[in-house]
Structure 1
Amino acid sequence: MELSGKTIAILATNGFEQSELEVPRDRLKKAGATVHVISLAEGEIKGWDMKDWGRPVKVDKTLDQAVSTDYDAIVLPGGQINPDLLRVEPKALAFIKEIFNAKKVVAAVCHAPWLLIETGIAKGRKMTSYKSIKTDVINAGALWEDSQVVVDQGVITSRNPGDLEAFSAKIIEEIKEGRHSQRSAA
């Protein structure tokens, strides 16, 4: 299996876009990775499925239980609610930044680049996002482009749920490449 022995964190809370958590999770598991859904509290988190509340997803670990060195990559699902709630949580931002600073893969889709803005990761980096936060990404100093998936030294961004297969494939590819030693810390 392509990602056998790799462990991936998916950081999310209530209001994540259903497909933006489930598609990468399922593709990474199919590729042989161990995937942990990490959230602010134990139990379950509830997704948002296009226009209404979606299905709950089991939380594997809380942020208090998760250790960044245990992970080879982090995936940040979007939706409007999820990243907006996480970007005001210091522990969530610290966890993302620790994985980034260890030169591991960081992947964000749709509105999740808000988390890359909040951590300082966006500055000077080529990125894409959902169109409604394009100005936020540009104002954070990123080089925004209207592409399905953009990769900049192990930081992967994608526009929307329609791009999830390409996004997931790129995550697998980047994890297989390993650490991005040429990348500078945020």
Structure 2
Amino acid sequence: MASVLVPLAPGCEEIEAVTVIDILRRAGIEVTTAGLASGAVRASRGTVLLPDVTLDEALKKDYDMVVLPGGMPGSEHLNNDSRVIALLQRMAAAGKFVTAICAAPMALHAAGVLHNKRATSYPGVLDELPGSHVYLEDAVVVDGNIATSRGPGTAMDFALTLVELLAGKAKRDAVEAQLQRPKTH
């Protein structure tokens, strides 16, 4: 079974975090949520999230994918956390999936994993950062082992894409059918 780490920072976007966690778990994928510090995490709109473990504890294990929820100031907290940056670099170097949505792709940029990659983000984030990445305005962009998405409104498409990357198109289609969503792909 594939395993995914979702770091939760104070001020993260709850729609993005919870949608990804929920959809991946519906697909039978093991998801570990990890707070940057111990205790509950207050998200950007005041929702309180209770991580499974602390990031330090989570980092004792290997994962097939890391997913960074966006939101502010959550994305800045991820971007400024040396453990997160080192994790992104290790996972990208190992060919594992490194993914982020909304403003969180700024951490992928800071980790140097977007070099010569196509990516997207919330407007005003990646498109304004210097670098060799190619900025696109698509809802979800996958380039090799890097996946990025625009924001809260694209969270469902992003999460379903992550299911497809880890478990295949048939599993994505099965999960999506259970959601009663109109077919969009």
Partner residue, 1:83 = 75
Shift in alpha-carbon separation, 1:173–1:21, aligned structure 2, 3 A = same
Give the Cα separation in 1 of the matches to 2:40 and 2:71. 17
Matched, 1:165 2:156: yes
CA deviation after TM superposition for structure 1 residue 71, in Å? 1.0
1:131 is aligned, of 123, 128, 135, to 123
User: TM-score, structure 1 length as denominator?
Assistant: 0.85
1:99 is aligned, of 91, 102, 107, to 91
Partner residue, 1:66 = 58
Partner residue, 1:114 = 106
Give the Cα separation in 2 of the matches to 1:64 and 1:140. 30
Partner residue, 1:21 = 17
1:174 is aligned, of 157, 165, 169, to 165
Give the Cα separation in 1 of the matches to 2:92 and 2:122. 21
Give the Cα separation in 2 of the matches to 1:134 and 1:93. 16
Matched, 1:6 2:15: no
Counterpart residue identity of residue 135, structure 1: D
CA deviation after TM superposition for structure 1 residue 104, in Å? 1.1
Unaligned runs of 5+ in 2: 169-185
Residues 136-158 of structure 1 show CA distances to partners (whole Å, capped at 9, x for unaligned) of 34x12210011011000021111
Range with greater deviation from structure 2 (34-43 or 7-16)? 34-43
Range with greater deviation from structure 2 (86-95 or 25-34)? 86-95
Give the Cα separation in 2 of the matches to 1:74 and 1:60. 15
Matched, 1:140 2:136: no
Matched, 1:30 2:7: no
- Tell me how large the CA RMSD over aligned residues is: 1.5
Give the Cα separation in 1 of the matches to 2:128 and 2:31. 30
Question: How many aligned positions are there?
Answer: 168
CA deviation after TM superposition for structure 1 residue 15, in Å? 0.2
Shift in alpha-carbon separation, 1:37–1:163, aligned structure 2, 3 A = same
Counterpart residue identity of residue 59, structure 1: P
Partner residue, 1:183 = none
Shift in alpha-carbon separation, 1:68–1:109, aligned structure 2, 3 A = farther
Shift in alpha-carbon separation, 1:40–1:174, aligned structure 2, 3 A = same
CA deviation after TM superposition for structure 1 residue 69, in Å? 5.0
Counterpart residue identity of residue 93, structure 1: I
